[in-house]
Amino acid sequence: MDDGMISWRPHSGSRRNHRLEFPATTILGVGGPSGKCESIWCGDTKGNLVRLSLPQLDVLDKYSLNASVIRSICAVSTSSDKILVGTSTGDVWTVGQDIPGKQLLLFSLDYPISSIRCDEKSIIIQSGWSRFTFDWTGTELEHHDQNLVFQNKKSKRTTRRARLLKFQQEKGTLPYSQMLDLPVVA
């Protein structure tokens, strides 16, 4: 909830609540050996990560990465407790008990991270309309920028509009160029 409250409402039994220090921005449920969701990772607006057990909502781990908003969380594998974390400043962290120091900054981008996912060989990051693929050392493998498609379309639209305006002025059907920018009123 917007006040930092995490609530677990089972089908049967009593409801449990845990209040985070700051409002959660992203939550990731993680399965355990039983195959069921046994804990959740909560990222907040101040760069903190909290791992809560389910259904008790006891604090299992707590990390403070930096002061930027946690935007996305991804489990590295089903067999470990390691996760990847993306922030609004473009930092990519790995966090978990298996990590030396329990948290490690892998690399940084110049863009805020919208979503993050990974496989054994690569880390895929979405930042707005751009998709980046990195290896685990932080080397960029691929970059697909959908913004270029929109910029090309804008350029074509501008050219088409200029040709139409020129044609209409030459034909005499449009006395003033401002007419294209005015809304049509019926």
- Identify whether residues 86 and 55 lie together within a single domain: yes
Contact 48, 62 (CB under 8 A): yes
pLDDT one-digit tens code per residue, 9-57 = 888 888 888 888 899 999 999 887 787 888 899 999 999 999 998 888 8
Query: Does 106 share its domain with 127?
Result: yes
106 located within any domain: yes
Q: Judge whether 57 lies within some domain.
A: yes
Q: Are residues 82 and 158 in the same domain?
A: no
* DSSP character string of 118-137: E-SS-EEEEETTEEEEE-TT
Query: Of 42-46, 137-141, 164-168, which range is least confident?
Result: 164-168
Same domain, 17 and 93: yes
Q: Is residue 56 part of a domain?
A: yes
Residue 154 sits in the same domain as residue 140: no
Residue 110 lies in a domain: yes
The CATH number of the domain holding residue 78 is: 2.130.10.10
Look up the domain containing 22 and give its range: 5-145
For residues 116 and 153, state if they share a domain: no
Question: How many structural domains are present in the chain?
Answer: 2
Residue 78 maps to a domain: yes
164 and 130 part of one domain: no
User: Do 71 and 120 share a domain, yes or no?
Assistant: yes
Q: What's the mean per-residue pLDDT of the chain?
A: 84
Q: How many Å from the N-terminal Cα to the C-terminal Cα in the chain?
A: 48
* 96 and 61 in a common domain: yes
Q: 186 lies in a domain?
A: no
Residues 135 and 170 in one domain: no
The residue with tokens 């449990």 is: 16
pLDDT of residue 166: 80
pLDDT in tens, 105-131: 989 888 899 999 998 889 999 988 889
Same domain, 159 and 133: no
At 125 the pLDDT is 92
On whether both 72 and 106 belong to a single domain, the answer is: yes
30, 40 Cβ separation under 8 angstroms: yes
